[in-house]
Amino acid sequence: MSRKSPHPPKHHGAPAAVLPKRWLELCASAPALCLMAVGLALALYWRTLEYEFIDLDDTFYVLTNPQVLGGLSWASVRWALVDLHSTFTYWHPLTWLSLMLDATLYGQWAGGYHATSFLLHALNVALVFRLMHTITADKWSAFAVAAIFAVHPVHLESVVWITERKDVLFMFWGLLALNSYLAWARGRSRPALVALYCCYALSLMSKPVLVVLPGLLLLLDYWPLGRFSPYDLFRPAGPGPSFSARLRGLWPLLREKLPVLALALCSVLITVNSHPKTFDLVVLDSAARYGNAFLALSKYVWKLLMPTDLAILYPFPVPLPTWPLVLSIVAFCTVSLLVLWKAKRHPWLLLGLGWFLLGFLPTIVTPKVGMHLAMADRAAYFPYVGGYLVIVLGAREIAARLIADRQKLNRILALCLVALLGWYWSQATFAIAFWRNKYTIYERAIEVTPGHHILYNNYGKILLDRQDFTAAETYVLKALALQPGFNLALGNLGNVYMGTGRFEQAIAMFQRALAADPDNVNNGNYHFDMARCLARLARYDEAEKHYLQALAVEPNDPEAHNDLGHIALLRGDLRRAGEHFAQAVALDPDYRAAKENLAQVQRTLAGGRQ
């Protein structure tokens, strides 16, 4: 007779339902969401491994920079840290060291430089996630902000343009500084405070943009830290502490930020004093600069939502359009007042708008450092994070008011995020293709923003390098039609004429280029090119004079010495010719023509002695 088991049979199918749930929980964890956001960035930017350098500033920063190409050494480190490089750019030694490390690792392979940049961007995505998770205490909001930051098309310029290594680098250290500040403010950890100061200094040494960090730290004190409220500080007189007492109560918060403020002021002084007085044909008064600031802010907001028609340069609007300017000022004032009104109940509004405005402050209203542009995509790399915070938390707030069912709310928010990321992804994959090489980036920029003399001139220059003289002349003449005194375009037109055998016209262009800016660093090239034209016209005395002037600017030019050797040969001065040929070979041991010329002179001199 069978006996029944006292225990019910085990159902082995039950654990199968547990495993997917555990996987779902794992995929929805904060680390997994962070990795997903990072994965989006890597998936977008990996293709840049096949991209090239472009000629706009990449030549100066890498391709023709002997300090960078020489890689890391004690001499190059000293050059990066001590020399102010006032001829070309401002002081950012950490950016130089980063590029030197790339040169050590990759040589002149552009893909390696791109890899470093997009890996830094991926790290920034992770740091944005960490920061937003700390601020909002919500992993999904943190993921949304980080994912948008990862793929937003406006950030292509900061990540793909090798010259803008300084953007991804200053952002990396700046985000570490912000995360350190939140850790210190909540735990009073001394290592976190030291990390704040060190990371902030390194950020300023990468690019002097985060000089606004003290103000941003005060915004974080308001929310999410809740250490003070501007609404309590400026409340009407009544019961409670007086305004002066409330102001004194704010002093401890201000005092703790004095080291950060001191670093910011040092960075400002170094930047203003070290940056070159770059040749810029757009001369603006304060009214035009401040007027464009309002226009630029409205354009940045538009590009945040509709990132289309992106270009590497946006020409400064001269004169400023009246009605767009008026509407921009009205919109700015309206939004600012609305945020101040609502921020007491929704403090993230004040943090987001403050982050957005403070982030743009160094680039749109401060004294000129560099070339006058209407706006620049690279300037949005840091400020847009504040905009993303407002979009994400604002969407969540509005949806929560309209939809009571939490599951339905989450599904709708997820669909909206997927749609937004899809929109940004499609625009980013379209726009990133134009960064493939120097031709595609200029062709796209000219298509999107016609009428910019620098774009026309630079595109003409790369066509000239390709010996497409007809097309090069067309674009250089367009640049000169917009700015007749543009010395770089005058020099390029001279090279077009020289390449097509019009030597008299070429000489006239080089003379105009020299007269347009007598102290320009390119003047050695103009003297050299003029000397070659004069030599082709058999005007050797004049040619010699300009070769010597070229050597006064660039003493280590082997071609100038070789050409002077030819002039000496024509005069029958073999000894002097030999000296110039020997100097050319000493400067460039692989200079085949100079070595052959030197050997011929030495044979002739030896035969004469016999």
Residues 43 and 118 in one domain: yes
Are 90 and 106 part of one and the same domain?
Answer: yes
Query: Per-residue confidence at 225, pLDDT binned at 50, 70, 90?
Result: very high
Looking at the structure of the chain, the number of domains it has is 2
444, 375: one domain: no
Domain contains 159 = yes
- Judgement on whether residues 182 and 56 belong to the same structural domain of the protein: yes
Pair 198, 312 in one domain: yes
Query: Are residues 520 and 410 both part of a single domain?
Result: no
345-365 per-position pLDDT tens digit: 999 999 999 999 999 999 886
Is pLDDT at 490 greater than 70 in this prediction? yes
Residues 339 and 192 in one domain: yes
Gap between the Cα atoms of 160 and 229, Å rounded: 40
Residue 12 confidence (pLDDT) above 60: no
pLDDT exceeds 50 at position 136: yes
- Whether residue 608 is predicted with pLDDT greater than 70 in this model: the reply is no
Last residue of a domain, one of 405, 434, 463: 434
Residue of 464 and 1 predicted with greater confidence: 464
On whether both 446 and 421 belong to a single domain, the answer is no
pLDDT at site 295: 96
For residue 495, pLDDT over 70 is answered with yes
My answer on whether 382 and 530 are in the same domain is no
**CA angle at 448 for the pair 445 and 450, rounded to the nearest 5°:** 80
Q: Based on the fold, state whether residues 412 and 526 are members of the same structural domain.
A: no
Mean pLDDT, range 318-331, rounded to an integer: 94
Q: Which of 169-173, 231-235, 239-243, 441-445 has the lowest average pLDDT?
A: 239-243
Residue 362 lies in a domain: yes
State which of 394, 415, 434 marks the end of a domain: 434
Going from the C-alpha of 486 to that of each of 13, 516, 549, the distances in angstroms are 79, 7, 22
Q: pLDDT tens digits, residue range 373-429?
A: 789 999 999 999 999 999 999 999 999 999 999 999 999 999 999 999 999 999 999
Residue 1: inside a domain, yes or no? no
For residue 607, how many other CB atoms are within 10 A of its CB? 8
Other beta carbons less than 10 A from residue 159's beta carbon: 27
Q: What pLDDT is attached to residue 315?
A: 85
Residue 88 has pLDDT above 70, yes or no: no
Do residues 547 and 560 touch, judged by C-beta distance below 8 A?
A: yes
Question: Of the candidates 434, 459, 485, which is a domain's last residue?
Answer: 434
pLDDT over 50 (residue 72): yes
Q: What is the mean pLDDT of the chain?
A: 91
Annotate 22-75 with three-state secondary structure: HHHHHHCCHHHHHHHHHHHHHHHHHHHHHCCCCCCCHHHHHHCCHHHHCCCCHH
Confidence grade of residue 369 (pLDDT, cut at 50, 70, 90): low
468 and 357 housed in the same domain? no
> Does residue 270 surpass a pLDDT of 50?
yes
User: For the segment 170-198, what is each residue's pLDDT rounded down to a tens digit?
Assistant: 999 999 999 999 999 998 899 999 999 99
With pLDDT > 90 as the criterion, what percentage of the chain qualifies? 78
Distance CA 269, CA 273 (A): 6
Query: Over 70: is that where the pLDDT of 544 sits?
Result: yes
86 pLDDT above the threshold of 60 = no
13 pLDDT band, cuts 50/70/90, is very low
What average pLDDT score do residues 10-37 get? 73
Instruction: Name the pLDDT band for 273 (thresholds 50, 70, 90).
Output: confident
Query: What pLDDT was estimated at residue 289?
Result: 85
CA-based max dimension of the chain = 131
pLDDT (mean) for 155-177:
98
Which residue range(s) make up the domain with 347? 27-235+253-434
